[in-house]
Amino acid sequence: MQEILGTIYPWLKAGHLIFVIFWMAGLFMLPRFFVYHQETAPESPENAVWAEREQRLLRIILAPSIAVVWLLGLLLAFSIDAWSQGWFHAKLALVLALSGYHGWMAGYARKLARGERPLEGRKLRLLNEVPGIAVALIVVLVIVRPF
């Protein structure tokens, strides 16, 4: 199995990176949608429009992207036997955290669709920085492999 993965490694890596980009684009867009959505009245027609946009982003871009990122990422980890390497454990922890953030945002989209507004716009704008910081750390871990 590892021999087969080794021969297709560049394709796995390219696919993984492509879907990471799609996933990150969605993770950057969704909190921005939340900021605009939150500024609408819960009973307004605009509220329903924003709820639909958020669900489409989650369904069409974010859900498939996270699934492919995980699938290809695990195949890459097996192909290079990354499980014993410290940098990989740190990367995996960050990817798990980003996956949790993704899930939290899906839940927040459902709250907004119901008319709930638990967070202020300023907090949502700050939350928009989470994926950027995480991906910067992940890139350093993968490229530099500091430990």
Over residues 34-60, the mean pLDDT reads 95
Which pLDDT tens digit goes with each residue over 105-123?
999 999 999 999 999 889 9
- Concatenated DSSP letters for 49-107? HHHHHHHHIIIIIIHHHHHHHHHHHHHHHHHHTGGG-HHHHHHHHHHHHHHHHHHHHHH
The pLDDT of residue 6 is above 80: no
The pLDDT-based confidence of 5 (bands split at 50, 70, 90) is confident
- Concatenated DSSP letters for 102-141? HHHHHHHHHHHHTT---S-HHHHHHHTTHHHHHHHHHHHH
- Known binding residues: 16, 91
pLDDT, position 4: 82
- Known binding residues for heme: 16, 91
